[in-house]
Structure 1
Amino acid sequence: MPISDELILCPKCHWQPDGGAYWECECTNVWDTFSSFGKCPKCGKIHRYTQCIACKRTSPHHDWYVDPPVKLPSVSDAQEQTPQG
C-alpha cells in the first residue's frame, strides 16, 4: 500500500496501483514502488521512472502522484545508482 493517502495514477492511461508488488529492481527485489517513492528497500537504488503494469508505458515516477502533488526531492544521476557496500 502506498505510504501516503495521495492519489496515484499512471499519467498515460490512469491505471491506479493497488498496492501489489509488481515492480522489480535490478537487484531482483520485487516490491510496490509506491510504498517507498521509487526507492528499492533492498539495495537503495532510486528509480526515477516507473513502468505502468496496465499500459506498459514508462513515466517519471513523480508524475504518478496527482492529488495533491507530492513534493519529491530531485534525484541526481549519482543518487540513482545502486549504493555500493
Structure 2
Amino acid sequence: MKKVDKHISCPKCNWIPDGQAHWQCMCGHSFDAFATAGRCPACFRQWERTQCVPAAGGCKSWSNHLDWYGDLKGWLQRELQDLPSLAPTKQDQGKLRPDD
C-alpha cells in the first residue's frame, strides 16, 4: 500500500494536532480525532465537524473534519493521474485475463 503524505492542520489557524486525546465524544470517551478519521473508537459515532483545541494552542473554531487534511482534492487528482488506464490496449490483446 502506498504511503500517503498528509498535512493535518486547522483550516482556520493552522494549528497542528499533536496526537493527544484532546477530543471528547458525547459518550464521554476522549480520543485523538485524527488517529480515527473523526470516529469515536468507543461508540463509533462519526464526527463530521472537528473543533480546534484552544487548550493546546488552537483557535476554538469548528470546521469540517475533512478540511483539516489540506489539499485532498489536489492529492486525489494527482493519485488518479498516476493510475494506469483500465482500458485494454493493442498490446493487451491475446494476453491471459484473470478469469481465464
Q: Tell me the TM-score normalised to structure 1 length.
A: 0.73
Aligned with residue 56 of structure 1, among 35, 56, 60: 60
2:12 matched residue in structure 1:
12
Higher strand share: 1
Q: CA RMSD in A?
A: 1.6
Task: For residue 63 of structure 1, give the secondary structure of its aligned residue in structure 2.
Answer: helix
Identical-residue share of aligned pairs (%): 45
- Structure 1 unaligned runs (5+)? 72-85
Q: How many residues align?
A: 67
- Structure 2 unaligned runs (5+)? 77-100
Displacement over 6 Å in runs of 4+: none
Answer 1 or 2: higher relative contact order, Cα 8 Å, separation at least 6: 1
User: What is the CA–CA distance in structure 2 between the aligned matches of 1:63 and 1:27, rounded to whole Å?
Assistant: 24
Q: Tell me the TM-score normalised to structure 2 length.
A: 0.62
